[in-house]
Structure 1
Amino acid sequence: MSGSSRRPVLGVTTYLQQAQTGVWDVMASFLPGIYIEGVTRSGGIVALLPPQPVDPDIADRVLDGLDGLVLTGGRDVDPASYGQPPHPNTDEPARERDAWEFALVERALKRGLPVLGICRGAQILNVALGGTLHQHLPDVVGHNWHQAGNAVFNTSVIKTVPGTRLASLIGESTDAQCYHHQAIADLGTGLIATAWDTDGVVEAVELVGPQFVVAVQWHPEERLDDLRLFSGVVQAAAQYAKERAPEGRSEATRERKRA
């Protein structure tokens, strides 16, 4: 891509919670900058998407201006959304963020928008499509390696499934930076598991078909020396933008191109 006018715009979801900066201690939308860097270093433009009141029309209006969607990490998904009571170790739900991201996913999938899910983002995608989650992995695998705590990321060896989109992006295996105490249990409709770790935990899923919908349980933004996942969604977004170009751009944008 040889100019900002040709770079795709990717919406990146954000947190909404209490945050401190200087003398301020307020409810704020924020996102670790490494997510932004992952997209921009891969050739994309970032539009931040803070949680807010939503309905399908609002989600569509937001997505009209985007070429791709990145669902980021964060608090546990509300277990009520997949029909379970909360586990004692499950976070207090951020229901406004859940509703916002569920709406974005639903409308993004309907229009064929490229999607990359990261950690919580993989769980949101799975639950949005009718899947369920293991609420506390230590109960399943017998240890807390997947989330050591105190912001310490452990490295797990991930094996991909041959022939999948994920395998075409990152090869047959990778060292993944993990920080999750939950994981995918039952797969959502249309999803296939595309990577597993040595404990048999599902570490990635993707949607069957031509649309780029890939989600990983680990944190690729923690290893920006390896941009393959970010590059994959940015390239898919660029192709999406190219295919919808005449009708998907505003008259003002077309005027700038003619100038």
Structure 2
Amino acid sequence: MSQPLIGVTTYLDRARWGVWDMRAALLPERYPRLVREGGGLAVMLPPDVPGAAAAVVARLDGLVVAGGADVEPVRYGAEPDPRTGPPARERDAWELALIDAALASGTPLLGICRGMQLLNVARGGTLTQHLDGHAEAVGVIGRHTVKPVPGSLYGSLVPEAAEVPTYHHQAVDRLGAGLAPSAHAEDGTVEAVELAAPAWALGVQWHPEMGEDPRVMRGLVAAASGAGR
């Protein structure tokens, strides 16, 4: 059986390499590494016009919406908190379109950190714009324990409480339509969300690409393998 093709979203930012200093489509290398460890083939998806999302998703077996900048609060009807980061409007529009296309087509979807938050917003949910205790320091990945909800999709992949790599300051507030929590932090913060079967759509608040546990990605790849695409 051929390896499933897993698209991973990227972001546009200024970068320097060799003699060059210009805007580039960026993705930390740990994302494609995690896809490989999960048994898939990774392809980078730079921001594009939202109208292209359905055609892009149609060529994929699975989709990962990667972590990154805060979702612009206007997307969920809120005023920005002073601690919310600057908007990434082009990326928001593109990734929301990808999520909509994946859900409409039944393409397996994994949202990581920002990707989980954006999945919630795509389903009409809201976000808490700042919470303490879920990041060690600027640019430093921390760790804390998350506990699965019994009977959930996430719980079927990781049935025990697990210490996970984490770096975030925002979280799900009101859940979007059809979404259910599938893991919590010890302080009660929702750490994973999912849609009910037959959809395979899962969001995790932490950064599995920064750890050594590929089980969530293996779940996505297994679902993508059986998608018949």
TM-score bin (small chain): over 0.9
Provide structure 2 residue ranges, at least 5 long, that are not aligned to the other structure. Answer: none
The 1-side partners of 2:46 and 2:219 are apart by 24
- Aligned-partner SS, 1:100: helix
**Aligned match of 1:26 in 22, 34, 57?**
22
Larger radius of gyration: 1
**Aligned match of 2:222 in 225, 235, 259?**
235
The 2-side partners of 1:27 and 1:20 are apart by 9
The 2-side partners of 1:24 and 1:87 are apart by 36
Alpha-carbon distance, 1:198 to partner: 1.0
Superposed CA offset, 1:29-53 (max 9, x none): 0100110000012211111111122
Alpha-carbon distance, 1:20 to partner: 2.0
Q: In structure 2, what is the equivalent of residue 36 of structure 1? A: 32
- Aligned-partner SS, 2:34: helix
**Aligned match of 1:66 in 60, 70, 73?**
60
The 1-side partners of 2:17 and 2:129 are apart by 32
Q: In structure 2, what is the equivalent of residue 247 of structure 1? A: none
The 2-side partners of 1:25 and 1:79 are apart by 31
Instruction: For 1:191-202, list aligned pairs within 5 A.
Output: 191-202=179-190
Provide structure 1 residue ranges, at least 5 long, that are not aligned to the other structure. Answer: 139-144, 245-259
- Aligned-partner SS, 2:50: coil
- Aligned-partner SS, 2:12: strand
1:156 aligned partner, one-letter code: H
The 2-side partners of 1:66 and 1:91 are apart by 31
Alpha-carbon distance, 1:59 to partner: 1.1
**Aligned match of 1:103 in 97, 103, 109?**
97
Q: How many residues align?
A: 229
Q: In structure 2, what is the equivalent of residue 123 of structure 1? A: 117
Query: Which structure 1 residue ranges, 4+ long, deviate > 4 Å from structure 2?
Result: none
Q: In structure 2, what is the equivalent of residue 210 of structure 1? A: 198
Alpha-carbon distance, 1:148 to partner: 2.1
- Is 1:82 the counterpart of 2:79? The answer is no
The 2-side partners of 1:59 and 1:220 are apart by 25
TM-score by length of 1: 0.86
Preserved contact between residue 29 and residue 50 of structure 1 (Cα < 8 Å): yes
Alpha-carbon distance, 1:54 to partner: 1.9
1:19 aligned partner, one-letter code: A
Q: In structure 1, what is the equivalent of residue 134 of structure 2? A: 146
Q: In structure 2, what is the equivalent of residue 182 of structure 1? A: 170
